[in-house]
Structure formats: structure tokens, C-alpha cells
Chain A
Amino acid sequence: MVEQAKTALPGVEKDEQFLFSIRQHWVRLVPAALAAAGWTILLFLTSFLQFIGVPFDDPTRHLLLIVLGFLFLYFQLRFIWRWYQYLLHVIVVTDKRVHRFKQRFLLMEDQRSFEMSSLQDIRKDKAGVVGRLLGFGTITLVGEKSNMPLHFVTMADAVYNKLVSLRDAMQMKRVPPAVQQRVESAIAELKPIVPAQSA
């Protein structure tokens, strides 16, 4: 399954090294789930009318039941639709790109990729009090020409930190080896000074 997962997505090249993938926060499902639950409770509660006496004549009661039944069914199917869309929305991070896969209305595929080499900045925005409490937020990848927002990212802080370290690693790769060596030797020279100062 793991190997298959690495190659199963369109647009992900074989030489890309899979790092991790993220699903959106479950809060995305809340509006559809609440509507479905609300209509379920309403339909369930109407059954109690039988015990207290239904105050309508037969045709009116039948019509009301059919309308209620259709609305209940509509919101149940709408919830399933949202659930499937939610499952089909995945963000995949590789060593070269960030891919966002999502299915609109279960029919149209929407795929966007962001080159890590063009990444200039990463912004994190937690959506208010709810976002802070539940730990989700929007992470925006800022590039030279375009930006890619990733909304409702689960564990936004951890994902942000991972992306920042990935960007830093990418930037270090771009530095010529000679400069890298000079930086490393300069850091090595500085190290003994630090304990002496603190002492």
C-alpha cells in the first residue's frame, strides 16, 4: 500500500521522494454534519406526534411527511457528498513539490503543484479562536510568481515547522559547497567561545 501510494497520484514524478501527506481538519465537515443531524432529529421527533395525536387531516399529513422525508434525504446525501469530497482532498509533500489534490463535486479534478525551489516564504494564519483551540489554520506558500494557500491544515504548527525546515534544507542545497564549508568552519570556530562567555 505504501509503495502504491507513492506512485498512485497523477503529477507526482517517480524521482520525487515522498515526505508526508496531510488531510484537512474535520471541522470542514461540521456544517454538513450539523444539517444532516438536525434533519434526522426533526424526522425522529415527528414520530412522537403519533402518541400525542396528529393535528392534521390525512392529505396534509401525507404531504408534510413526503416533504420532510425528501428534505431529510437531501441533507443525508449532501453530507455523504461532503464526506467523500473531504476524503478526496489531500496535500502531499515531497522533497521537490507540494501537491494539492482535490475533487470538486466528485467529478472535476483540481490538482495544483508548488515547486519547493521557487518557495520564498511560508505564512501561517490560524483562523481565530476556534483555529487556535483545534489547531488548524491556513498555510500559504509564497513563491516568486504565485502563491498557494492550504486551508484548514490539521496540526498547522507542526506542518508549518516541517515545511520551514524543508525550505531551509532546500536553500542549503543551493549554496555552493565551498561556501557551505566556510560557513560550517566558521560555526565550528564560534562554538568554543559560547561556553567561555556563559562561564
Chain B
Amino acid sequence: MTALAAILSLCLLTIVGEAVLWLLFRRGLTAMHVAKQIVGPFAHIRGTDQLFMLAVLHTAFTVTLIVITFLFLW
């Protein structure tokens, strides 16, 4: 197995995993879950756009770390 194959497999798994989890989450989400009347932590996160951006950022972070580590150590 080459470094490229290992990196691509893990990155693909990351993207597919994140996408599946997002779709499952999006399906169960109602307006109440992101409503501004919610009391408690993360109440400032409103709307699915912000949540989607967080998911994209997390995916990018995970992929970047995998690529860097594998390129360094393979």
C-alpha cells in the first residue's frame, strides 16, 4: 500500500462518515433544536447553516491532520 492510497482511503472514509452523520442529523433536526429561545449552552448557534459550517470545518481539520501525519511518517 502506498502513502497516497492510505491517505486517500482515510480521507474518503472521513468525508463519507461526516456526510452520513450530517444527513442523519439533518433528518432529525426540527426548528426547535436551533431555536433562539433555547436556554443553555450553544444557544447562540442558530440555524443549520452555522452547524453545517462547523461540520465542514471539522472534516477539513480531520483530513488535514491525516494528510500531514501520513506525509511526514509514511
Q: CB within 8 Å of B: which residues of A?
A: 1-2, 4-5, 8-9, 18, 20-26, 40, 43-44, 46-47, 49-50, 54, 61-62, 65-66, 68-70, 72-73, 76-77, 80-81, 84, 87-88, 90, 92, 101, 103, 106-107, 109, 154-155, 159
Contacts and interface: CB of A to CB of B under 8 A. Distances in A.
Contact of A1 (B21, B25, B31, B65): B31
Interface residues of B, number: 40
Contacts, number: 129
Q: Chain A interface secondary structure, helix, strand, loop or mixed?
A: helix
A13 B28 CA distance: 19
A5 B73 contact: no
Contacts of B4: none
Contact of A80 (B21, B36, B73): B21
Contacts of A4: 31
Given A40-B65, A73-B13, A88-B25, A2 B37 contact: yes
Contact of A81 (B6, B21, B33, B38): B21
B42 A87 contact: yes
A80 B40 contact: no
